[in-house]
Amino acid sequence: MAEATDQVTVGSPHDPLPEALGLARAAAEAGLGLKLLGGLGVRVLCPDFPPRLRRDQDIDFACLSKERKKVADWLAKNGCEPDRRFNNLNGDRQMYFTAPSGRPVDVMVDRLTMCHTLDFRPSFGRLPYTVDAVDLLLSKLQIVELNEKDARDIVHLLSALPLGTGEADPPVIDTVRFGQVLGADWGWWRTVTGNLTKLPAVIEANPGLVPSAPRHDPLAQARLLLDVANSAPKSVKWKLRSNVGDRVRWYELPEEVAH
């Protein structure tokens, strides 16, 4: 049996959030944009909900290409050891470091490329320590084969944050940007609407995904987002690709890049 000191609990030495958020805050104080992605970003925006904790969890950040070299230098000066070979080969799109704790640190540059490509630049500066809430949500909804942790993150975001527009006080799930991303690309629309449609069955099979005191009804919010997706203006590219439909694969199969 593991020793008590080896258990992953909120705020324990094995919880990655304090270190990750400390780096994001210190970078912001230094005038640099280093924004949390993934499950740690969800935790920052949903602090009242029970987090999913994994001892081996990476720290995922995003930055902009115009600050890439400054961010890399700043991380190195703050105790993060760069993988120089990887960064020299891939630094225009992704950088890799090892944090002072030994945790892996991935920094995505401008975009997250998985099943689809999500460009962070249009709303990158909206929140201080994470990418915009709608981008966090889209980064989860773009996964074609959702696992439990990603479904949990989606439900938590829909339970914690209101829908709104870019003019609303953050954090909100920006329905204008949501509609723009889905209206520009049929593949994006197909994957995201498919996941939103499946959400009631996912929650029925695992009701524990919904936090005990949600501020918003996640299923009602999912239905509203489906309406946004379907009513958003569609590009010519979207309409042409919709004629092909499911006969051709509309998503990529992401591969892990070796560090």
pLDDT of the chain along its 259 residues, tens only?
333 344 556 666 789 999 999 999 999 999 999 999 999 999 999 999 988 777 678 999 999 999 999 999 999 999 999 999 999 999 999 999 999 999 999 999 999 999 999 999 999 999 999 999 999 999 999 999 999 999 999 999 999 999 999 777 889 999 999 999 999 999 999 999 999 999 999 999 999 999 999 999 999 999 999 999 999 999 999 999 999 999 999 999 887 555 6
Q: Note the pLDDT of residue 3.
A: 37
- As a whole number of angstroms, the distance between CA 153 and CA 78 comes to 29
Domain ranges in the chain? Answer: 13-247
